[in-house]
Amino acid sequence: MQELTHYINGAHVKGTSGRFADVYNPATGEVQAKVPLANAAEMEAAVAAAQAAQPAWGAVNPQRRARVMMKFVDLLNRDMDKLAEALSREHGKTLPDAAGDVQRGLEVVEFCIGAPHHLKGEFTDSAGPGIDMYSMKQALGVTAGITPFNFPAMIPMWMFAPAIVCGNAFILKPSERDPSVPLMLAELMEEAGLPKGVLQVVNGDKEAVDAILHHDVIQSVGFVGSTPIAQYIYATGCANGKRVQCFGGAKNHMIIMPDADMDQAADALIGAGYGAAGERCMAISVAVPVGEETADRLIEKLVPRIEALKVGPYTSGKDVDYGPVVTAAAKANIERLVQTGVDQGAKLVVDGRGFSLQGYEDGFFVGPHLFDNVTPDMDIYTQEIFGPVLSTVRAKTYEEAIGLAMDHEYGNGTAIFTRDGDAARDFAARINIGMVGINVPIPVPLAYHTFGGWKKSMFGDLNQHGPDSFKFYTRTKTVTSRWPSGIKEGGEFSIPVME
């Protein structure tokens, strides 16, 4: 049994708390490693190392910090297959999808190579007689991030790449379900030239998170995960005076207008609903066809596609559409919610219950499900299922369809499929959701834009990556300067104004 470690001050460090969590291979159901769960003393050691390392790193000029990122991109490409394999082995997603997880993080690192430009301040020459005014963007100091299981490469890189290139030290508390890739990323950052102590990985659960939230030295906390924990971290972090951004759960609706290309819409729903076993915060989990005829045509196209889905372990290579879910508990929760759908009167058009894969009977595989005639009061509509379960809610009109998406408590992503530019434009303008796709089912913005939902999918004000990340990980200082020769007329007693 492999015993994983923390990565503190440039070294793999064994856990000392005596507490561990099991890390599974979701395809076989076997425990393949145990990960230490840190206590406050272990977090303290990481904070002390970060605090010691950060001032020198913050003083390195931005171009040199960017060069570490350049080298890191090379190393990610060099080790892409190794990272993807480690990721699939603990998460369960297919190898091409795991490589995509690394790639989408790598693209944020590429964006961060532009740090010398993004960190430029503003300057006003002669703001007053002999007075210049300029602003600087300075690092916060020691920062921290808490990440979910579903993107163990991309989401840590969303956070640590901008934090570190801005001159901060960063402590990552990754998901205890798949901690190996975050540890590998920390090693690669040091191979790329990052000094020890600037990026550390402290594994753990609520105890480690609470140690972050209550530590005076830690200036900011980034979180991605489920909404109840996002709310807790936002409230506690803010109450303790930290800068906090928290990204939560989702229930993404895709509206299918009567004029949509129905094959295109069905293909899009298959990928967005069932890819990664539905364990994506940008997965489409609700299809909203407008009009009975649209709904009937859509279901007719979806059923054979869903029945043809290939579910299997990542080791089967490209022949698999999606793999197992992450744990037995996740599987049980999905099965429980599916049962509530049946009990509450939804029509289970494709029944994935009882799915079993020969040779992998103990794996956490869940067959694909399609529900029709779902109504907004049902648990499968109000709750995030985070599994391969697509719900169809039939809407009579476009107004009813957009209203459903707008009234849902989550607001991460949404999409509309139509050939009507006017409807698409109206949808994009009115919808109260952070990321919108027009004939694009998973509208995850690229690294140089920003990522973030609205409503209960996001707590805080600055999004992930893109220009917002440089704002989140820096503080602005504004300097008003006048050299001694400028003082000629004695003291000034009223507030200076520019006349």
Distance CA(367)–CA(334), nearest Å, equals: 10
Tokens 């920003």 found at: 450
Report the residue from 206, 396, 425, 430 that binds ligand NAD according to the rule CB under 6 A: 206
Q: Which is nearer to ligand NAD, 66 or 272 (CB)?
A: 272
Residue 227 CB, nearest distance to ligand NAD (Å)? 7
**Minimum distance, C-beta of residue 405 to ligand NAD, in the bound complex (Å):** 16
Q: Taking CB under 6 A as the rule, does residue 281 contact ligand NAD?
A: yes
Q: Cα separation of 46 and 146, whole Å?
A: 15
Query: Shortest approach of ligand NAD to residue 259 CB, angstroms?
Result: 31
In the bound complex, what is the minimum distance in angstroms from residue 468's beta carbon to ligand NAD?
13
200 CB neighbour count, 10 Å cutoff: 29
Of the pair 57, 234, the CB lying nearest ligand NAD is at 234
Select which of 112, 166, 246, 281 is catalytic. Answer: 281
In the region spanning residues 219 to 248, those forming contacts with ligand NAD, defined by CB under 6 A, are 224-226, 229, 247-248
- Contact letters for ligand NAD, residues 113-152 (x by CB under 6 A): ---------------------------------xxxxxx-
Rounded Cα distance, 259 and 418, in Å: 6
The yes or no reply on residue 250 touching ligand NAD (CB under 6 A) is: yes
Nearer to ligand NAD among residue 158 and residue 371 (C-beta) = 158
User: Could you tell me if 338 and 390 are in contact, meaning their C-beta atoms sit under 8 angstroms apart?
Assistant: no
Return the residue of 234, 386, 427, 473 that touches ligand NAD, per CB under 6 A.
Answer: 386
Mention every residue, 6+ apart, whose C-beta is less than 8 A from residue 284: 252, 253, 254, 268, 269, 272, 273, 390, 415, 441, 442
CA distance 103 to 106: 5
Size of the site for ligand NAD (CB under 6 A): 26
Site for ligand NAD in 427-486 (CB under 6 A): 453, 457
Using the minimum distance from each CB to ligand NAD, give the nearer residue, 289 or 441. Answer: 441
Pick the closer one to ligand NAD by CB: 108 or 224.
Answer: 224
Go through the chain and tell me how many residues it has: 499
What are the CA-CA distances from residue 84 to residues 1, 26, 314, 411 (Å)? 21, 15, 10, 30
Q: Is 205 an interacting residue with respect to ligand NAD (CB under 6 A)?
A: yes
CA dist 29 → 19, 82, 97, 313, 495 (Å): 21, 21, 20, 11, 69
> 3 has which bridge partners?
34
Give 494's DSSP letter. S
Dihedral sign for Cα 296, 301, 306, 308, please. Answer: positive
Q: Is 246 a catalytic residue?
A: no
CB 174, min distance to ligand NAD, A: 6
Nearest residue to the partner ligand NAD, using Cβ: 225
Residue 359: CB atoms within 10 Å: 10
User: In the set 79, 97, 107, 176, which binds ligand NAD (CB under 6 A)?
Assistant: 176
**Positions in the binding site for ligand NAD (CB under 6 A):** 146-151, 173, 175-176, 205-206, 209, 224-226, 229, 247-250, 281, 384, 386, 412, 453, 457
- Residues designated catalytic: 281
